[in-house]
A = this chain, B = another copy of it.
Amino acid sequence: MALFQNDEYQARIGKTKKRMDDSGIDVLIVSDPANMNYLTGYDGWSFYVPQAVVVAMDLKMPLWIGRGMDVAGARHTTFLNEDHIIGHSDNYVQNPVKHPMNFVAAEIKHRGWERRTIGVEMDAYYFSARGFLALQKDLPRANFQDANLLVSWVRLIKSDAEINYMRQAGKISEIVMETALNNLFPGVRECDAVAAVYQAQMAGTPKFGGDYPAIVPMMPTGEKTSAPHLTWTDEPYRNNQAVNLELAACRHRYHSPLARTAYLGKHPPEKLVSLAEHTVEGLNLTLEAVKPGMCCEEVELVWRKHIAKAGLEKESRIGYAMGLNYPPDWGEHTASLRPGDKTVLAPNMTFHMILGMWMDKYGFECSESFHVTETGCETFADFPRKLFVKG
């Protein structure tokens, strides 16, 4: 059974078709697993093989096309009728002479769409160069158009039902952060602290469990705080060091990331304490300023003006749209809180605002996930914003 009501999927498909119509696209081949899920409900760890949801102006309901063994999963998780779920034989998989996109092309031909304008997600994670060439070769009369992020932009404004799952993820993220802080001590191995975090992410609350986040827990310390994507080791955490906690929780594939910084030791350096104060003050001020009708770059400006007073600046963006997603990223790659982004905020848009300030030898970060409301914004988690000193 699909997660949302049928009319919610119909509304999503309607908005997608409106954008297809605006771009002159007749047939859209969706490969991004989050977009596939959004349009049909499909949820499975099967994106390691090529698969697609096809939206056509000619069809009321999308098609799910994938591996034969995943048809049962599509029946189980989507709202689609049986005859809109199409599986191919297993010999398309990891085969040097044929590709699942050959099968998708055959289906498109079979339906008489081979001369149409076909949208493809050219930069989606699981749409490979070989898959694209297979489509081009088999559909030489089609007019291919890059429809990268077309569905992702439709995802920008969430429904109340989606917000509800993100609230649940936010609730779990509080437990996850508390678990991380309770397991951080000098002498504890990084892998053991991470193990406790994973446990909390999946166990969730007594009322609702957790799902796997699209990014692994990041808890770097020492020199590794300046190498943002390194994962954990077996090394023990040391005394008198800061630890950055970039964590998240996930509920039915909807995320709520949360970042904090802890200091292991009784006496954090004065400059770290002062950086934490400026950053938290800026985060508070910026969240208070968020209102529908503002544009993304205006939100960033509130932050930038605040830290300029403290003589600081931050080059990178301070936030991005997020929600439903799969590995390797929970970000939606659409709106960003940064100069130049003119996206106008509207109720039920959801962002992760992350303020990471990196100095020469130390850093502080603090983040919130929130949704825009009718009058301002509301965070999904309720967790103290400060430097956590574990003396």
Chain A contacts to B: CB under 8 angstroms: 43-48, 69-70, 72-73, 75-77, 90, 94, 99, 120, 122-133, 146, 148, 189-192, 194-196, 198-204, 208-212, 215-216, 218, 223-224, 226-234, 315-316, 327-329, 333, 336
Q: Are A231 and B43 in contact (CB under 8 A)?
A: yes
Pair A191/B209 contact, Cβ less than 8 Å = yes
Of the candidates B124, B210, B316, B329, the one whose C-beta lies within 8 Å of that of A90 is B316
The residue on B at minimum CB distance from A89 is B315
Q: Which chain B residue lies CB-closest to A235? A: B209
Sample of 10 more A-B contacts, CB < 8 Å, known A43-B230, A44-B230, A132-B132: A45-B231, A73-B228, A75-B227, A123-B131, A125-B125, A127-B128, A195-B199, A198-B199, A211-B231, A327-B328
3 A-B pairs closest in CB distance:
A191-B209, A129-B132, A195-B202
Q: Say how far A61's CB is from chain B's closest CB, in angstroms.
A: 21
Contact of B126 with A129 in the complex, beta carbons under 8 Å: no
- Say how far A78's CB is from chain B's closest CB, in angstroms: 12
User: Are B328 and A48 in contact, CB atoms less than 8 angstroms apart?
Assistant: yes
Contact with A198, one of B190, B195, B316, B336 (Cβ below 8 angstroms): B195
Question: Can you list 18 A-B contacts (CB < 8 A)?
Answer: A44-B229, A44-B230, A45-B328, A47-B328, A76-B230, A90-B315, A123-B131, A124-B128, A129-B132, A191-B204, A191-B210, A192-B202, A192-B209, A204-B234, A208-B234, A211-B231, A212-B216, A327-B328
Are B229 and A46 in contact (CB-based, < 8 A)?
yes
A333 touches B230 (CB 8 A): no
Q: List the B side residues contacting A200 at CB < 8 Å.
A: 195
Query: In the assembly, what is the distance between CA of A126 and CA of B229, in Å?
Result: 16
- Cβ B133 vs Cβ A128 within 8 A: no
Residue numbers in B under 8 Å from A90 (CB-CB): 315-316
When the two chains form their complex, are residues B209 and A189 in contact, meaning their CB atoms are under 8 A apart? yes
Residue numbers in B under 8 Å from A133 (CB-CB): 122
The residue in chain B whose Cβ has the minimal distance to the Cβ of A223 is B76
Asked whether A45 lies within 8 Å of B128 as measured between CB atoms, the reply is no
